[in-house]
A and B are shown apart, each in its own frame.
Chain A
């Protein structure tokens, strides 16, 4: 099938998309946007998180066809004018990045959290990020990063 969608404000059109393809596959392999990651492709790790029409989803669980005509924001689309977003800056500054494989998903999920809840409590942060696995950091500095980004750093 033919697929048209907008990613990070840029319209894309791609042909020969196979029915079983996920949005993650389209982003990574067809559009060359490999910022969204593929740690499980089963909806368990959150490394593929993107915003689909403003809603946080695991792009590995979204069939390509479901993205037809819709707007996708990936980790590559978060900064402005070549600058990092506040969340990206906070993850870097807090040392919340080790291997970084979880980072795109965590950053997107944090953007989504702070958009809905600009001053989350620790419990709210934990609940919001419970779907994002990180194997390296133990999450302590991830919490630091989210608190800092929210301006609620203690």
Chain B
């Protein structure tokens, strides 16, 4: 049961309502193919004479690469070639921000799974055998795997530039603020995987002009093309990319994985080459969410108003940079949450280590910070004897508030309202009872029937979070859209062409909706995204609907102006006397000209490159600056049942409230909120890539668990539409916000049920029952709360290992 409430503040610019236009629950244009199994995903591609590519990967997290001997592999029948770094004709490295990752390893491997060599063979099985037959000699080196040690000046360097990729500093007000009530805590977020279902895959076909055509599942065609062309040593015009069907992305397809490899193999063999990663290889083939350690100190007045926040955050970026710099910028600028805090001192570090590379994942730096600051808000509420929602609402930012970066929040920021909405939503009936189990849900442990209800305790938790929408910190962020309006056999047809990547989120649907509303046409063709048109930027950062809407609305507006000019010429009246209404031009004397007449002289076409308003780089010493375009806010309330004896959790119900500015497609908005909330549930309760000494222990869906339909409770959603006056249609990016606050809300509920601090996600049964390291170590080290104090101590995180305390010693005293 999902509800959509709230006022719609702005309607489509073109006036009258269009069926399946902006604001409607239009169906996906690709949906019928998808339910019928006829939609071609990137793993479904095929070409005559095609061969299969496969990758030789390092088993070591760090080693000197002594030699690669392909001779045995090349002797296998059906093997076409084996390539190493010597076969990379152009730039030997690639990367989203900085090209620091070898296309194929040179000299040294820096993480387990790094690509060392490529093979092409007649069948997937032969390719697999060939990979096993490539003899690679490594000389293992001591790997840098502890992020705290990696920060020390004495640490071995993963790259010559040193191990600190970025140190973001945020300073506002008095960094040595004092407050009567102080709580501190240390938190940890494990490494989450995007775990999209459609594996990395694509098909590269060599072209007659010496270039290559690549069909691939990606989030950003033009960034891929730039990196592929550089590695091939070809002009970009000779590298043509088209989007193949994408089976989910969530950030993991923003970086290059197999794009360059496919093209290298195609150009070498002169044949079409297909690659499909197995699930295991996929875990090594893309970046993950940065694991992080965060130490926070919050100070408040006795009435609950925040006085200061000090924080230190350490994000392990792994072996290569990917988007670590931007992740740190987000973590730092969003570090105190959607609250007004006068005094802030935050240091956020992104590091190189020999762990798996980390980069973009839904929530991008905001997730880790929110887990920590929301835990802190709960501790503060406890110290003050306030309700967690009351404390949050008291400190909530609103329109006109200042970010700790000094940026004014200049559009609606309904933080308190979102909290109120989830807090006032109906609670599930008290439980659990055996009757519930039969009808509505299951006890912790689910179908394993590990309990009949004894030892099961219910808890409720709240969290609110926010995320910047679009690329920040001065990035020149733009999207290109081409629109053609032409007469067709059954009426006018609008064709929309962009390189914006449909990942499942519904970009193709909203493109058609916007064109319908703006041009008053029924029939819209959305062309396959490819590089024949300019860059659309990345389908990430909750930005693509925002950006594409901006560009598409602008292009359609220009087409309407052109049609008014045509009408004016035809009717012999000034343009000022004409108006546009729903696919028709209305003249002064009751004249009406429809699209068919207006298109008689020929089709109209416009290409628009559209930018959101500019942002600024922040000051390197203080983090001050107008870094962000827009924020997206969501709040969650979670109700959980916890088996306190076995440490198992069943989420009973989740309520979400989110402001989306304007729901272009309300059904798709709900889908984003459900899916995002569920990924946050995964991080709270089960999802972690376990890395030991730089090695991944669980690269499979058997051992890396994502939520199933049994793990997910009924989700109720309240959607607000408070228009952002700076955004097209007033819309806010939707995709990420729901992932951010769902994790801390669920953990808060488990804390409420168990009384434990639970400073680390994902929660493990041993943490919940108070066994294992968490009880004596991490849990006890979870800082101290107390009354009266300075904001010192935040540097413990990097200044040394915090002293372990016994269970409960971090509880602090009650407020006198």
Contact residue among B36, B438, B506, B677 (Cβ-Cβ distance under 8 Å from A98)? B506
Residues of chain B contacted by A20 (CB below 8 angstroms): 125
Tell me how far the C-beta of A62 lies from the nearest C-beta in chain B, rounded to whole angstroms: 17
Q: Is A119 an interface residue (CB 8 A)?
A: no
Residues of chain B contacted by A140 (CB below 8 angstroms): 2, 670, 674, 712, 714-715
Cα separation A130 to B709 with both chains bound (whole Å): 6
Within 8 A of B (CB), among A113-127: 121-123, 125-127
Residues of chain B contacted by A132 (CB below 8 angstroms): 708-709
Minimum CB distance partner of A132 in chain B: B709
Contact residue among A18, A35, A125, A138 (Cβ-Cβ distance under 8 Å from B125)? A18
Q: Is A88 an interface residue (CB 8 A)?
A: yes
Fill in one digit per residue for A89-105: 1 if any B CB lies within 8 Å of its CB, else 0.
Answer: 10111010111111110
Instruction: Say whether, besides A76-B38, A122-B439, A38 and B43 are in contact (CB < 8 Å).
Output: yes
Cα separation A61 to B468 with both chains bound (whole Å): 43
Which of B396-404, B440-448, B583-591 lies at the interface with chain A? B440-448
Instruction: Say whether, besides A39-B199, A95-B25, A139-B712, A133 and B32 are in contact (CB < 8 Å).
Output: no
Instruction: Say whether, besides A39-B199, A99-B248, A101-B41, A133 and B30 are in contact (CB < 8 Å).
Output: no
Q: Is B371 an interface residue (CB 8 A)?
A: no
Residues of chain A contacted by B714 (CB below 8 angstroms): 140
Residues of chain A contacted by B676 (CB below 8 angstroms): 138
Contacting pair B248 A92 (CB below 8 A) = no
Q: Is B141 an interface residue (CB 8 A)?
A: no
Contacting pair B30 A100 (CB below 8 A) = yes
Contacting pair B438 A123 (CB below 8 A) = yes
Q: Is B505 an interface residue (CB 8 A)?
A: yes
Contact residue among A39, A41, A100, A137 (Cβ-Cβ distance under 8 Å from B34)? A100
Cα separation A131 to B278 with both chains bound (whole Å): 19
Residues of chain B contacted by A79 (CB below 8 angstroms): 36
Cα separation A142 to B37 with both chains bound (whole Å): 17
Contacting pair B670 A45 (CB below 8 A) = no
Q: Is B408 an interface residue (CB 8 A)?
A: no
Cα separation A127 to B709 with both chains bound (whole Å): 8
Cα separation A28 to B43 with both chains bound (whole Å): 10
Cα separation A63 to B668 with both chains bound (whole Å): 39
Tell me how far the C-beta of B16 lies from the nearest C-beta in chain A, rounded to whole angstroms: 26
Contact residue among A37, A133, A141 (Cβ-Cβ distance under 8 Å from B41)? A37
Residues of chain B contacted by A97 (CB below 8 angstroms): 28, 31, 34-35
Tell me how far the C-beta of B283 lies from the nearest C-beta in chain A, rounded to whole angstroms: 11
A89, A100, A125, A126 — most chain B CB neighbours (10 Å):
A100
Contacting pair B199 A38 (CB below 8 A) = yes
Residues of chain B contacted by A99 (CB below 8 angstroms): 196-198, 246-248, 503-504
Residues of chain B contacted by A35 (CB below 8 angstroms): 36-38
Fill in one digit per residue for B647-681: 1 if any A CB lies within 8 Å of its CB, else 0.
Answer: 00000000000000000000110110011111100
Q: Is A75 an interface residue (CB 8 A)?
A: yes
Residues of chain B contacted by A150 (CB below 8 angstroms): none
Within 8 A of A (CB), among B659-707: 667-668, 670-671, 674-679, 700-702, 706-707
A36, A88, A98, A134 — most chain B CB neighbours (10 Å):
A98
Minimum CB distance partner of A145 in chain B: B35
Residues of chain A contacted by B503 (CB below 8 angstroms): 99
Tell me how far the C-beta of A112 lies from the nearest C-beta in chain B, rounded to whole angstroms: 15
Interface residues on A, range: 35 or more
Cα separation A24 to B665 with both chains bound (whole Å): 36
Q: Is B279 an interface residue (CB 8 A)?
A: yes
Q: Is A44 an interface residue (CB 8 A)?
A: yes
Fill in one digit per residue for A17-49: 1 if any B CB lies within 8 Å of its CB, else 0.
Answer: 010100000001100111111111110110100
Give how many B residues have a beta carbon under 8 Å from the other chain's beta carbons: 66
Contacting pair B199 A138 (CB below 8 A) = no
A35, A95, A141 — most chain B CB neighbours (10 Å):
A95
Contact residue among A101, A104, A139 (Cβ-Cβ distance under 8 Å from B678)? A139
Residues of chain B contacted by A44 (CB below 8 angstroms): 700-702
Contacting pair A141 B671 (CB below 8 A) = yes
Residues of chain A contacted by B536 (CB below 8 angstroms): none
Cα separation A44 to B701 with both chains bound (whole Å): 6
Contact residue among B35, B44, B197, B671 (Cβ-Cβ distance under 8 Å from A45)? B197
Q: Is A107 an interface residue (CB 8 A)?
A: yes
Tell me how far the C-beta of B48 lies from the nearest C-beta in chain A, rounded to whole angstroms: 13
Q: Is B27 an interface residue (CB 8 A)?
A: yes
Cα separation A22 to B47 with both chains bound (whole Å): 22
Cα separation A75 to B39 with both chains bound (whole Å): 12
Cα separation A29 to B52 with both chains bound (whole Å): 12
Contact residue among B36, B195, B447, B671 (Cβ-Cβ distance under 8 Å from A135)? B195
Within 8 A of B (CB), among A63-88: 74-76, 78-79, 84, 88
Cα separation A28 to B195 with both chains bound (whole Å): 22
Q: Is B425 an interface residue (CB 8 A)?
A: no
Contacting pair B197 A47 (CB below 8 A) = yes
Residues of chain B contacted by A102 (CB below 8 angstroms): 197
Instruction: Say whether, besides A130-B709, A135-B195, A141-B670, A101 and B247 are in contact (CB < 8 Å).
Output: yes
Minimum CB distance partner of B665 in chain A: A95
Contact residue among B32, B40, B679, B709 (Cβ-Cβ distance under 8 Å from A139)? B709
Contact residue among A32, A84, A100, A122 (Cβ-Cβ distance under 8 Å from B46)? A32
Q: Is B478 an interface residue (CB 8 A)?
A: no
- 22 pairs, A vs B, C-beta closer than 8 Å: A20-B125, A29-B124, A37-B247, A38-B199, A40-B279, A42-B279, A44-B700, A45-B197, A92-B31, A98-B675, A100-B504, A101-B504, A123-B437, A125-B709, A133-B197, A134-B197, A134-B709, A135-B250, A137-B678, A140-B2, A140-B674, A143-B709
> 5 closest Cβ contacts across the A-B interface?
A35-B37, A99-B504, A100-B34, A138-B674, A101-B247
A42-B701, A78-B36, A95-B671 given; name 14 further pairs at CB < 8 Å. Answer: A34-B41, A35-B36, A40-B279, A41-B279, A92-B28, A95-B28, A107-B37, A130-B709, A130-B710, A134-B709, A135-B250, A138-B674, A138-B676, A138-B707
